[in-house]
Amino acid sequence: MKKLSKFLLIAALFLGAILSNPVRSLAQDEVVDYQVFYDNLAPYGSWVNMDPYGSVWIPNVGAGFAPYASNGYWANTDYGWTWVSDFDWGWAPFHYGRWEHKRDVGWFWIPDYTWGPAWVEWDYGPGYYGWAPLGFGITVDMALGGGWHAHDRRWCFVEEGYMGRRNIGSYYIPRERNTGILVNMHPITERYNDNNRHAVYIAGPKREDVARITHREIKPYTIAERPTPGHGVTGRTINLYRPPVQNKPGVAPKQVQDIHNITPVQQRNDDYRKTQPVEIHPQIINTQPHSVRMQQAQPQQQPQQQRQQPQQQPRQQSQPQQRSQPAPQRQQAAPRMQQSAPQGNNNSGGGGRHR
């Protein structure tokens, strides 16, 4: 009997200690460092040292990969439009850090500390929505203040009627048309101030504007905390691992490859394609206009001279292009300062643009 009483006393003390010091959810309370990125992304790509960025991550992905375009979709949340990735590693590179591109390397990711629904800038113009990844060192204030703008070929455009669709990747406009489209585009300046994380996000187009333009109800998603690295969607709940990240000296990837030993991007794409039953390619384009698809089930044959598309005006490299105001103005837009192409425009195709 005495042994039983002693056991019950010890159990009661142990239970009291647990209740007075509850285990905290890592995603909500604990602070991690870059090691969580280094360890969890290593199986899906290569870490290399690259000036001037430091340690960057190159994903093992197929031909045509582009951040915030491949294998994912936009979901509207309280934070604005949130990128939902179908990549297993998508919880980190699309919500922390910045993406950059080099012709021989392809897209690579640079870690950073602050979580966000998506680190992109948004544009709107007659008939289109567009977005592009923020570059290395580019803040929200810099993007919205007119002092920086993404390179033409880094933009992804979709006809306005398809914004918010789960299969939005089937309707991207060919990037060769970006320069002509951007002339008439204006920045979307909606912000979300996240007081809990002391961060500001570019929220993207207003939910009600997208609903009005697309003639569809835009149902919001809720973001829930996930305690371990990863992400998933249940119903209209996005479960995300998004802990606060701190700068801790001495952490580094366990395995770093020499940049000169990295397989060229085209060969990596070819090798990856051989292992995949379906090629991941964001540029699957249906070029027929949304309005035509909605109104004409069977297009009528027209004379050749009527079916010819108007030619786009060639870009003038020597003089900046002025944006004309779209009519009608359906999205609040602020004019941007003109500037030359961003630094490091050794990306895939296209030239710089003055805006």
The residue ranges of DSSP E strands in the chain, in sequence order, are 45-50, 54-59, 72-77, 80-85, 98-102, 106-110, 120-125, 128-133, 156-159, 186-187, 191-194, 199-202, 222-225, 231-234, 237-240
What is the extent of the structural domain holding 73? Answer: 22-290
Q: 156 or 291: which carries more pLDDT confidence?
A: 156
Instruction: Name residue 122's beta-bridge partners.
Output: 131
332 domain-assigned: no
Residue 39, domain member (yes or no): yes
**Cα–Cα–Cα angle for 193, 117, 344, rounded to 5 degrees:** 100
Specify the number of domains making up the chain. Answer: 1
Residue 178 is assigned to a structural domain of this protein: yes
Is 297 inside a domain boundary? Answer: no
- 350 dihedral zone (left: phi>0; alpha: psi -120 to 50; beta): left
Is residue 267 within a helix (H) or strand (E), and if so which, with residue range? helix 265-274
When pLDDT is cut at 50, 70 and 90, the band that residue 270 belongs to is low
Mean local confidence (pLDDT), 21-42: 72
Q: Is residue 15 within a helix (H) or strand (E), and if so which, with residue range?
A: helix 2-20
The pTM score is 0.72
- Region of poorest pLDDT, from 13-17, 53-57, 213-217, 227-231: 13-17
- Is residue 160, in this structure, part of any structural domain at all? yes
Beta strand 237-240 pairing with 222-225? parallel
- With vertex at residue 131, the alpha carbon angle to CA 92 and CA 216, rounded to the nearest 5 degrees, is 100
Give the mean model confidence (pLDDT) for residues 80-101.
98
Reported confidence tier of residue 293, pLDDT bands at 50, 70, 90: very low
321 inside domain: no
Contact 162, 173 (CB under 8 A): no
Name the pLDDT band for 6 (thresholds 50, 70, 90).
low
Determine the distance from the C-alpha atom of residue 352 to the mean position of all C-alpha atoms in its chain, rounded to a whole number: 21
Minimum mean pLDDT among 54-63, 138-147, 238-247, 269-278: which range?
269-278
Would you say residue 324 lies in a domain?
Answer: no
Q: Does the residue 149 lie in any domain?
A: yes
**Is there a contact between 135 and 164 (Cβ–Cβ < 8 Å)?**
no
CA distance 239 to 261: 37
